[in-house]
Amino acid sequence: MTLSDAGLPTPLVFFRVGIVVPDLDVAIARFADGLGMAFTDPVTQRIPLMEVDGRATRSFELTTAMSRTEPPYYELIQATGDSIFANPATSRVLYYGCWEQDTQRRLTRLASRGAPPEVIWRSAPEAAPTAIFTRPDRTGGRIGYLSAQTRPAIEEWARTGKSP
């Protein structure tokens, strides 16, 4: 019997730690040397629509690299722009990533608890979120709920080192 069979929600799967860094190449070298692990080739991702505090902004780009390990992965994020991924957030854990099967339901759940997210990524204005980032808690950490639809591509990237 699973938790969902017992009427309890299925627990989220924690799979990565996102760390914002000022210089991606330097961080890759430091983490690779210090932790003895390889990293993927850096990839620049374009987020078609980013909402910050409920307001749609513009498309957004960030460059990341992922550890080539088993989960949880280390995701190094090049500090960019004026969002939660910018320079003030550097050199610390920005978020703990969990796979989310239904991001729209997650948004509703967060709103019903009076905890609207700080940042939402979408492919289009009416599309379900591809990622949701909560506001920081007392320790400064956030939870990133990432659409499980992206899981095969992310796992392939970590396995091969190349973006699929």
Mean pLDDT to the nearest integer, 121-146: 90
Question: Would you place residue 61 in the very low, low, confident or very high pLDDT band (cuts 50, 70, 90)?
Answer: confident
Instruction: Quick: pLDDT tens for 107-124.
Output: 999 999 888 899 999 998
Enumerate domains of the chain plus CATH numbers: 13-160 (3.10.180.10)
> Of 38, 44, 49, which is closest to residue 129 (Cα–Cα)?
49
Query: What's the token pair of residue 5?
Result: 């069979």
Q: Is the pLDDT of residue 77 over 70?
A: yes
CA angle 60, 61, 62 (to 5 degrees): 130
Strands (E), 59-116: 60-66, 73-78, 92-100
Please state the pTM of the whole predicted model: 0.87
